Homo-oligomer: A and B are copies of this chain.
């Protein structure tokens, strides 16, 4: 294992302030409540990472990979995890490596591993019965389904979005939210009428207009919204997701590409917003003229798979104005950003929109998929947005508990505090190692930075693993941090120490 850099070792041992990194770390800690920074939220969580193999994946993971590959494609498998032994922020692999996990199952574990409050749920026989009797929720909901939703999802509905549809995963959430936009647009075209003509009813059965209208959706370069056909037509993050799959001639606009640090490039970044917004409006008008009208725009608040590309609150405010001006819908896809990692439950709350977006989709940290929407985006009849399961009550039980823990333990503040520690520390490292990394950016702990090349990014992630840090990549050359909501300032300091070690040794 690589030797820790001297300054970091000093810090870890006796909190002596030596380097700018450490100064930043300590500043971050000082803003945290004393009790929060001193105890772990999950008892018995390890104090530090521990790596016991010389390569990751280690030999046991490699053996299991070989076995699984007999009958399944395994090109994306990184390692095998011992989920019984993993705890809190630490993921333990089958070779016994215990890693501080800042990627948390692609950002889908809100409370880390084996959180005691979630385990306790299964002690309740009523809950156990919900796990083994999965209902067709759209037709036969359980007796407390309404209360469950009211006490979980509806408690955290973005302001102004009073209607809800549950789904099983992120792709299905987006696919069905797209349908809600088409229906809304078509109902407008019909002058609000809810009845269908005979011609519509017949033509839709053979995929033809007017029953199946030639609507399109506008999406952004770099976007990721899922991999089913409708979602994939709006996804433009990496060729591997899209190649060989038929798609649709839908409008695709540039998403702002900012220069960092933001404070040094204010004017250029404003120009970039303006350029992209003009393109959006031009494309909507162009597609309308072509007879393939744009029903709506779909956008992530942070392009989370395509490279953690951020846009300003002003960009989103103006995007909403463009949608209004053109009579099109605006969907904000919070599948990866929703549920707290940006320090607010919904990332778009950072944008101060004058009114809610029309639809917000979610999944991952929310444990269940689904979308919130305005009343006019709620389907007019049963079975228009429907499938067998429509989600899974066992996930909503867990979400209800997650939301309770977030409030009880004040986890959104923890996210903000840990995020501050990370951002300050990363900015110092950015200045110290400009030959390796750049463009530190983020909200809360939803943070990324770029390697100067793809190779460098990959090297950083690989070497971090051997230091006991499990991080993820996104876009062409970004490292993305997606810790759980119980990631505390002292975890942030461990991350920074290890990253400094890696960067020093590159």
Contacts and interface: CB of A to CB of B under 8 A. Distances in A.
A105 B134 contact: yes
A182 B140 contact: no
Contact of A201 (B71, B216, B239, B386): B239
A212 B247 contact: yes
Interface in A297-349: none
29 contacts: A64-B146, A71-B163, A77-B141, A79-B140, A80-B142, A80-B143, A81-B140, A81-B143, A105-B135, A114-B132, A169-B388, A175-B229, A204-B239, A204-B242, A204-B244, A205-B221, A205-B236, A206-B236, A207-B233, A207-B248, A207-B249, A212-B242, A213-B244, A216-B246, A227-B385, A228-B228, A228-B231, A230-B230, A243-B384
Nearest to A222: B205
A363 B115 CA distance: 30
Interface residues of A, number: 123
Nearest to A196: B243
Interface string A65-78: 00110011111111
Contacts of A154: 71
A196 B91 CA distance: 36
A143 B95 CA distance: 10
Interface stretch (A31-39, A374-382, A443-451): A374-382
A144 B17 CA distance: 45
A220 to B, nearest CB: 12
A496 interface: no
Contacts of A206: 236, 252
B84 A126 contact: yes
B81 A141 contact: yes
Given A72-B149, A122-B131, 13 more contacts: A64-B146, A71-B164, A73-B378, A80-B145, A105-B134, A105-B136, A106-B136, A175-B228, A176-B228, A204-B244, A211-B239, A228-B231, A229-B233
A138 to B, nearest CB: 5
Number of copies of this protein chain within its complex = 2
Contact of A388 (B106, B122, B387, B389): B106
Q: Which 5 A-B pairs have the closest CB atoms?
A: A75-B382, A229-B230, A76-B382, A207-B247, A212-B247
Chain B CB within 10 Å, residue with most, of A122, A204, A385: A204
Interface in A50-94: 64, 67-68, 71-84, 86, 91, 94
Interface of A: 64, 67-68, 71-84, 86, 91, 94, 105-106, 108-109, 113-115, 118-119, 121-122, 126, 128-136, 138-143, 145-146, 149-150, 154, 162-165, 168-172, 175-176, 178-179, 182-183, 186-187, 196, 200-202, 204-208, 211-216, 221, 226-231, 233, 236, 238-250, 252, 363-364, 367, 378-379, 381-389, 394, 398
